[in-house]
Chain A
């Protein structure tokens, strides 16, 4: 089952091409991460998926329906939290949680779940929204979304205003959603968050998906980092196929190696004798830097 599918999505604002043939697939029951720098088109995509923007061309389906034409029916089955939440200044946080759950079609929940969420997010529901910080406004929207029993949850940079403790609470909640079989799409420019939570990742840049797959898939395309204490000649190691950026300090060497060439490198190390060895997967940080580092600078974006 596919929860979200977009094909060749294009959306322009004046002369700006916010989405430029964007493809995204999220299977039911997955936690999908949606990674990209500011202005890459993450929020635009989510707004298209919510039917708030109409794509210029391409197709999108959410829960098997057209997100623009069937927006109301789709929204009955999903919950959404925006990155920058704006609330009615003269209503309290508690009133707004009730209001949003009510409009979603439920009766306002006054049960343990609501109390538990308010408690865990350390949100005072009696305060007027005008007194809330950005993080607290975001918590109001998160509590309201998590109070609703939806099939699909869309979070647009959900932790951008939260402190690390609250982020941990959010992480727990998303894991609980996955365990209960819900689908989650979350956008972020924070790599650790996506790495921690997501089954699949789509990396978006300038409105196009530049990489997509499971974390495992993505790493397969890339290199591993090797640190070794070895008697091997660094120059010989550096000359092996697939070895990059070798640095030698006394008997310690560090280098990256293409995953396809890793067995040859291990054989060479073994032959020369090795007393300490770590082979680490690249962090998503490194993936990200390769996609955005130089190119972004070059594009002047």
Chain B
């Protein structure tokens, strides 16, 4: 192949032109959060004593899972606090961003046929993917630099701020490179995104469990690119070399991606498409059949992922027991006995798993928009199906799948806890408890439905609520956000079962909100134009 990179510069300009708004939103969301967090932490933890008190509760497994390896806990400075409690969410966010952007500019373009349009011009074999990766790397560097400046602006020291900015950028880069590989493997953008997200989830769990095993990072942590960024011991005892691991992995992944790219044709995955049924089976032809069939892969993927995560989270309960054994006063000190402590831990883990169910539900409802804009909704409606029936059946499938996922999350968590602690009733109790989150999930799904029905161009804004739910759940308490802001999150409104009683009041309010949104969405779809492009 000669001139394999011809035209890369032009394609890079095209990517920037297409993403100018998108990049701005990511930049403002990420760098703005960092810039706002540092002063907020200063307000919430004004002195060393307050920070030290915070440090004391950080060794419990649910905290470790959602933060990072515990460096500098004996002298918990503001910098150490930022590094420990903000870095993981920052790294995960840029990782998600990088996966989405990489897939958007590689496999999505190829699947849509636009890569063919470009490759018909004097554009080299590797130019589209190279331009995409340079683009993603550039966005990561800009966000990394912005992060470093935001930290400096918050009064933190130069080397640590620079290292955290760089760690942000290279962590994004690693996951962009992961997506560069998954986009070669499968011919479908959605599947490529899913595979890269599975890798991210695995990295998240490996880092978390690894750090629970050893609070400064065990062998398991070191398997995770998220850990490498955190193992720089930002603001505590800075070392740069773990970032070399990230860069090395990026290079390896890109080399793999190039090797795979050489072996395949434009538009193809690594394996030829398999055939399917020649005729529809009866399930597909039932009222909910089409929605079920189209969402099947998504439902199975999320369910398996949630169960595995739930079991892993649950099994961390044994280190809680170890902790209690080592520090017998701990239970008394935070006002809980051993059993309550496990319940509190399980409740916290359950609320994290609900993020996944909510994200599934919103994504699945928004698939309606993809269906509509691809002209497939029109095809269904033209057969005589009512609009209400089409949307209501779809929504019903999403609701039932969400219930199943909640129960599966509870079962998985219970299984893990029961195996770890021998507690006899954990499985049943947590499976039932998980249903307390159903109203919260319904609110998220119903908001997506309402936006889809009433203002379809803005339907994507339903993700803002999901992002807020995750943000509040992850760092809301740490930042001591006002209750009013936290309360926008329906998950925050839900009692932390099983440690708190499932008070029906807030659950009924959430259910009512979900009902109103659902009805609004259904009325909207009956009145508005059907869009297609």
Contact = CB atoms under 8 A, between A and B. Distances in A.
B113 A82 contact: yes
A283 B328 CA distance: 96
B272 to A, nearest CB: 3
A170 to B, nearest CB: 18
A141 interface: yes
B18 A104 contact: no
B277 interface: no
A71 B11 CA distance: 17
Contacts of A82: 113, 116-117, 120
Contacts of A76: 122
A86 B2 contact: no
Size class of the B contact interface (CB-based, 8 Å) = 20 to 34
Given A69-B2, A84-B113, A103-B10, A53 B122 contact: no
B339 to A, nearest CB: 56
Nearest to B18: A88
A69 B125 CA distance: 9
B507 to A, nearest CB: 41
A89 B117 CA distance: 14
B533 A131 contact: yes
A100 B124 contact: no
A90 B119 contact: no
A103 B1 contact: no
Contacts of B125: 51, 71
B18 A50 contact: no
Contacts of A103: 7, 10-11, 118, 121-123
A239 B227 CA distance: 91
B184 to A, nearest CB: 15
A49 to B, nearest CB: 10
A141 B4 CA distance: 24
A237 B2 CA distance: 65
B3 A72 contact: yes
Interface in A78-112: 79-80, 82, 84-91, 99-100, 102-105
Interface string A43-73: 0000100111110000000000000111111
Given A71-B125, A86-B113, A103-B10, A52 B119 contact: yes
B265 A71 contact: no
A130 B18 CA distance: 14
B142 interface: no
Interface on chain B toward A: helix, strand, loop, or mixed SS? loop
A219 interface: no
B265 A53 contact: yes
Contacts of A86: 112-114, 116-117
B2 A73 contact: yes
Interface string B124-144: 110000000000000000000
Given A68-B1, A103-B7, A131-B533, A75 B122 contact: yes
B266 interface: yes
Contact of B533 (A70, A89, A91): A89
Interface string B355-370: 0000000000000000
Given A75-B120, A103-B121, A85 B3 contact: no
B14 A99 contact: yes
B74 interface: no
B135 to A, nearest CB: 14
Interface string B2-36: 11101100110010011000000000000000000
A14 interface: yes
B117 A100 contact: yes
B529 interface: no
B322 interface: no
B121 A104 contact: yes
A52 B125 CA distance: 8
Contacts of A53: 265-266
A88 B265 contact: no
Contacts of B123: 72, 75, 103
Interface of B: 1-4, 6-7, 10-11, 14, 17-18, 112-114, 116-125, 265-268, 271-274, 533
22 contacts: A13-B272, A13-B273, A15-B272, A51-B119, A53-B266, A71-B124, A71-B125, A72-B122, A72-B123, A73-B122, A75-B121, A75-B122, A80-B120, A82-B117, A84-B113, A85-B117, A86-B116, A87-B117, A88-B18, A103-B11, A104-B122, A130-B533
Given A72-B7, A76-B122, A86-B114, 10 more contacts: A14-B273, A52-B267, A71-B1, A71-B125, A72-B2, A73-B122, A84-B113, A86-B112, A86-B113, A141-B117
